[in-house]
Amino acid sequence: QKEVEQDPGPLSVPEGAIVSLNCTYSNSAFQYFMWYRQYSRKGPELLMYTYSSGNKEDGRFTAQVDKSSKYISLFIRDSQPSDSATYLCAMSAPGTYKYIFGTGTRLKVLA
Amino acid sequence: DAGVIQSPRHEVTEMGQEVTLRCKPISGHNSLFWYRQTMMRGLELLIYFNNNVPIDDSGMPEDRFSAKMPNASFSTLKIQPSEPRDSAVYFCASSLFVPGSNQPQHFGDGTRLSIL
């Protein structure tokens, strides 16, 4: 079993839909949770960075962490074609530099 | 502010040739990471530097791979000799290490390497 599991997709949604992207993990030591967006032929771009449990909102994006279930989510409201990309989750434990990445979910928002 | 800058963006070369990838981290960051991304294996950490010192090179696949960080604003990843299975996208990332806090890593746009 991988430390971080992420559905590779592709996930296709119509423009304006609410998108839910998820990752599950097995290591209870993880305290830092990140979401990166990666466009084709570009590097991963940091979207959200959260510590421990709870929600964090930034514009149309909301990151949610449920440590009891070892489950994190990224919600995208009013999705746009420009949101079409691969979304990678990443997590790390305190005091370590290592990130454990999910394999990424390909999202397609259809106009 | 300038992000992480990598060069070249694309490299196509023949098997057996030496390949050198370059990275300029974000100014003020003291941690630098080299990753390799493939469809099969996703993002793999190759090597981690802190304050220009290699801390963890356990991800370097073979002795053919080497990395240096001669100063805080420059790092290289070298493959010699290159092989077709080295074809991948290589990313450099940097972050600010603060004791007691895991600061996020910021990535460059990568070097797409093709070994023929």
Does residue B98 sit at the A interface (CB-CB below 8 Å)?
A: no
Regarding predicted confidence, which is higher, B101 or A60? A60
What's residue B77's pLDDT? 98
Least Cα distance to B29 among B111, B93, B110 occurs for: B93
CB contact (8 A) between residue A97 and residue B31: yes
Write out the DSSP string of B45-112: EEEEEETTEEEE-TT--STTEEEEEEETTEEEEEESS--GGG-EEEEEEEE--BTTB-PPPEE---EE
pLDDT surpasses 90 at A22: yes
Which chain A residues contact residue B33 at CB under 8 A? 97
Average pLDDT over residues B86-99: 94
Residue of B33, B42, B102 lying closest to A94 (CB–CB): B102
d(CA A43, CA A37): 8
Mutate to test the interface with A, among B21, B38, B40, B43 (most CBs of A within 10 A): B43
The per-residue pLDDT for range B62-85, each reduced to its tens digit, is: 899 999 999 999 999 999 999 999
Does residue B30 sit at the A interface (CB-CB below 8 Å)?
A: no
Least Cα distance to B3 among A110, A42, A1, A60 occurs for: A42
CB contact (8 A) between residue B107 and residue A45: yes
Q: Chain B: nearest CA to A73, how far in angstroms?
A: 18
Residue of B33, B97, B102 lying closest to A32 (CB–CB): B102
Closest-CA residue of A relative to B94 is A97
Residue B24 tokens, joined: 């300029």
**At A95, is the pLDDT very low, low, confident or very high (cuts 50, 70, 90)?**
confident
CB contact (8 A) between residue B112 and residue A41: yes
Which chain B residues contact residue A47 at CB under 8 A? none
**At B45, is the pLDDT very low, low, confident or very high (cuts 50, 70, 90)?**
very high
pLDDT surpasses 70 at B42: yes
The per-residue pLDDT for range A23-82, each reduced to its tens digit, is: 999 999 999 999 999 999 999 999 999 988 889 999 999 999 999 999 999 999 999 999
The per-residue pLDDT for range A34-49, each reduced to its tens digit, is: 999 999 999 999 999 9
Percent of chain A at pLDDT > 70 equals 100
Q: Chain A: nearest CA to B27, how far in angstroms?
A: 17
CB contact (8 A) between residue B109 and residue A94: no
What's residue B1's pLDDT? 64
What's residue B98's pLDDT? 84
